Amino acid sequence: MPKIIGSTLAEHRERVRTQLFTALSELLSETSFDTVSMADIAARAGVGRTSVYNHFPDKEAVLLGFIEHETALYVQALSESLAHVRDPEEQLRVYVREQINLKAVYHLAPGPDLRSVVSSGTQMRLREHVHQVTELLASILRRGIETGRLPDQDIDAVVPLINACLSGRIHPEAGPERERAIEATEAFVLRAVGLRPAPAIPSAEIDPRQDLQALEAARTLTIA
Q: Which domains does the chain have, with CATH numbers?
A: 1-56 (1.10.10.60), 59-192 (1.10.357.10)
The SS3 assignment for 199 reads coil
What pLDDT shows up at residue 206?
A: 47
Q: At 186, which amino acid appears?
A: E
Rounded to whole angstroms, the Cα distance separating 82 from 144 reads 14
- Separation between Cα atoms, residue 50 and residue 72, nearest integer Å: 27
Instruction: Report the alpha-carbon distance of residue 142 to residue 155 in Å, rounded.
Output: 8
Are 39 and 49 a contacting pair, CB within 8 Å? Answer: yes
- Given a cut of 80, whether residue 209 has pLDDT beyond it is no
Dihedral pair phi/psi, residue 204, rounded to 5°: -65, 140
3-state secondary structure of 70: helix
Q: Looking at residue 5, what is its pLDDT?
A: 54
Q: Which residues contact 142 (CB under 8 A, 6 or more apart)?
A: 155
Tens digit of pLDDT for each residue in 18-72? 999 999 989 988 888 889 999 999 999 998 888 889 899 999 899 888 888 888 8
Segment 106-119 shows an average pLDDT of: 62
**Type of residue found at 60:** E
Predicted TM-score (pTM) of the model is 0.67
Mean pLDDT of 172-196: 89
3-class SS shares of the chain: helix, strand, coil, % to 5: 70, 0, 30
